[in-house]
Amino acid sequence: MPSRPKQSAPIEPAAEPGLTHHALLPAGLNDGLPPDAEHEAAIVERLIRGFAGYGYERVKPPLVEFEETLLGGAGAGMANRTFRLMDPVSRRMMGVRADMTLQIARIAATRLVNVPRPLRLSYAGDVLRVAGSQLSPERQFMQVGAELIGSAAVTADAEIIVMAAESLRALGVANLSVDLNAPSLATALIAELGFDRNQTKRLRVALDRKDAAAVAELTASRGGAQFAALMAATGSAARGRAAIAALDLPASAGALRDRLVSVVDLLGRAAPDLALTIDPIENRGFEYHTGVSFSIFSRGVRGELGRGGRYAAGEAGEPATGFTLYMDTMLRALPAASTGRRVYLPAGTPAADGQRLRAEGWSTVAALESADNRAADDHAAEARRLRCSHVWRDGAARLVEEKST
Amino acid sequence: MAANDALVLALPKGRILDEVMPLVRRAGIVPEAAFDDPDARQLSFRTNHRDVTIVRVRSFDVGTFVAFGAAHLAIAGNDVLMEFATPEIYSPLDLEVGHCRLAVAEPAEMVANDDPTRWSHLRIATKYPQITRRHFAARGVQAECIKLNGALELAPRLGLCRRIVDLVQTGRTLKENGLVEIERIADITARLAVNRAALKTRPDEIGAWIERFREAAHAA
């Protein structure tokens, strides 16, 4: 083969051996450090406990699965975001999970197939994606979620949304709002109106942009009134509900709309103070959802905190709904981590004192060498050096004063 | 919270700004005097609305600001919005100003013997690598893009590559450089752009501004 200078690759510094700084990690991967790593783990724990309070039991699928099971059926939407590797044992392709929901669905459809429905499961774990985006560059991040499998009831949709909102509020997420969607509604309407492929593509683009004028032009011959009403319904739920409730829609799109309206009504009763918006035409970012879906936002925070909605679980297509919270965005929406109460124990502090403090919820930081055991003044300095808020002196934890400089 | 409460409108510097400003004023937003002072070095401007701030940035940066939610509303050409192609931006309104087109051009002497059906790989100089790559990939051609920020018409003459993808308004610059437009990728106009999370979390406020811009655009 004639050699040709390689042209297409972006110019990057050559990776000469020994020249890569040993702190450099691949793009989108991070070390979690104190106090953030602890903070994240504590939040995950509280979320899972909150879900348990609603009767959701935790499951733990593996990090890697066979490609066919991970990406089969509804998982196809995740195919181009999934890392693959070869299994030297079975000589089959495996995928690293890029999302956990469909793993939970697989567990429900197989190993838990005999457990009576509805089945309530929760999970937390890291996912890996082949590429980050400009907005969320993380390729590895933690997902925490819950799935309600085996019920098609509209009360199941409401339960999931109420639980998601309640857990986030309990964590202190401010200005929470939930956007309700029906990603397949516009698709169903377009199909029933019989647009050709080219028209469908153009209409889809206009709908995604929320370009009302372009939508009106493309739907002038059919469906104009319906699409205009769906577009106008975007916004606060109280207003949007009225706009779409009375709308004359063909059968399958109408059923989806009825469902959306019922969920709005149920939420209005179950969580009357939750800020609710609806957007019946939103379609982007829902990889496998089919029915009523939702995104969770916090005002002033970039991107959404989580997504969820209806999907068909497993090969049998069992009715299911659930949601996933993205810990990378969540941490941006939550109050910053605090280091908590750390007390410095000078050498010679009785073991019982340390035990009692730990039982009271303190973190104790013990001096390790007797050389550390200097005068009282130096204990304070040592406590400060080890980032302790308090020092143990005369049988009490005393606040370490900030060094005046 | 106060910083989040003001709405930020990002406007692009340059050609499009002159065409857009009458519309912004018709929509009822009047920037402070420094906005029209060519010597002012200010980047952010107060307006007659206490809760609306204007920032003036380079046209591509408008896309970045609104995609990240640093600006809630923006005016940008759909060339910029297409290049970003992110679900974080809605563009609900065509403002029908700043008309031009995004086109492929090549040297006039190449046109007679060029058969686009034989292309498998092209090298193209452009400000729009994403749009260009997508456009050619859709017809089975890989486009290797050389990203330039200006003076694209020079590229073919100096042998950097033979074809360019650029904005064309009258076609005069192309002609002066011996280039011919061979294909139109898209028609370009200025659009009102809205950040997704902003529309979801402040639907009434942002919805009202979209309506005011709609009326202003139609009144033209």
A41/A158 same-domain check: yes
Give the tens place of pLDDT for each residue, B146-202: 999 988 999 999 999 999 999 999 999 999 999 999 999 999 999 999 999 999 999
What pLDDT shows up at residue B1?
A: 36
Of A8, A175, A298, the CB nearest to B144: A8
B126/B210 same-domain check: no
Q: Which residues of A touch B144 (CB under 8 A)?
A: 7-8
A284/A166 same-domain check: no
A38/A75 same-domain check: yes
**How many Cβ contacts (< 8 angstroms) between chains A and B?**
65
Q: Which residues of A touch B207 (CB under 8 A)?
A: 235
Task: For residue A274, give how far its alpha carbon lies from the nearest alpha carbon of chain B (Å).
Answer: 12
Is ipTM beyond 0.85?
no
Triad B88, B93, B98: Cα angle to 5°: 105
Contact B204 A8 (CB under 8 A): no
B161/B151 same-domain check: yes
B122/B210 same-domain check: no
Of B68, B92, B202, the CB nearest to A212: B92
Residue A237 tokens, joined: 């739920």
Looking at the complex, does the CB of residue B120 fall below 8 Å from at least one CB of chain A? no
Contact A214 B94 (CB under 8 A): yes
Q: Which residues of A touch B4 (CB under 8 A)?
A: 299-300
Of A211, A234, A297, the CB nearest to B201: A297
A168/A36 same-domain check: yes
Give the tens place of pLDDT for each residue, A150-198: 999 999 999 999 999 999 999 999 899 999 999 889 989 999 998 999 9
State the SS3 of chain B. CHHHHCEEEEEECCHHHHHHHHHHHHCCCCECHHHHCCCCCCCEEEECCCCEEEEEECHHHHHHHHHCCCCCEEEEEHHHHHHHCCCCEEEEEECCCCCEEEEEEEEHHHHCCCCHHHCCEEEEEECCHHHHHHHHHCCCCEEEEEECCCCCCHHHHCCCCCEEEEEECCCHHHHHCCEEEEEEEEEECEEEEEEHHHHHHCHHHHHHHHHHHHHHHHHC
**Strand A342-345 to A363-366 pairing:** parallel
Number of neighbours of residue B60 by Cβ within 10 angstroms: 17
Range of the domain at A358: 342-399
The residue with tokens 């783990």 is: A41
Cβ under 8 Å to A: B residues 167-186: none
Of B68, B88, B203, the CB nearest to A235: B203
**Are the CB atoms for A146 and A163 separated by under 8 Å?**
yes
Q: Which residues of B touch A304 (CB under 8 A)?
A: 197
Give the tens place of pLDDT for each residue, A342-369: 999 998 899 999 999 999 999 999 998 7
The residue with tokens 């956990």 is: A100
User: Mind listing the pLDDT tens digit of every residue in chain A (405 residues)?
Assistant: 444 544 455 555 555 666 678 899 999 999 999 888 999 999 999 999 999 999 999 999 999 999 999 998 778 888 999 999 999 999 999 999 999 999 999 999 999 999 999 999 999 999 999 998 877 889 999 999 999 999 999 999 999 999 999 999 999 998 999 999 998 899 899 999 989 999 999 999 899 989 888 899 999 998 888 999 999 899 999 889 998 998 889 888 999 999 999 999 999 999 999 999 999 998 887 878 889 999 999 998 888 999 999 999 988 889 999 999 999 999 988 988 777 789 999 988 999 999 999 999 999 999 987 654 455 568 888 899 999 999 999 889 999 876 554
In a domain, A1, yes or no: no
**Are the CB atoms for A127 and A100 separated by under 8 Å?**
yes
Number of domains in chain A: 3
Task: For residue A281, give how far its alpha carbon lies from the nearest alpha carbon of chain B (Å).
Answer: 12
Of B67, B91, B142, the CB nearest to A135: B67
Q: What's the CA gap between A348 and A379, in Å, rounded?
A: 12
Contact A135 B68 (CB under 8 A): yes
In a domain, A381, yes or no: yes
Range of the domain at B33: 2-98+189-219
CATH number of the domain that B119 lies in?
Answer: 3.40.190.10
Looking at the complex, does the CB of residue B202 fall below 8 Å from at least one CB of chain A? yes
A302: left (phi over 0), alpha (psi -120 to 50) or beta: beta
Q: Which residue is closest to A294 within chain B, CA to CA?
A: B200
Contact A300 B92 (CB under 8 A): no
Q: How far is CA B87 from the centre of its chain?
A: 16
Of B94, B194, B204, the CB nearest to A235: B204
Number of domains in chain B: 2
B155/B71 same-domain check: no
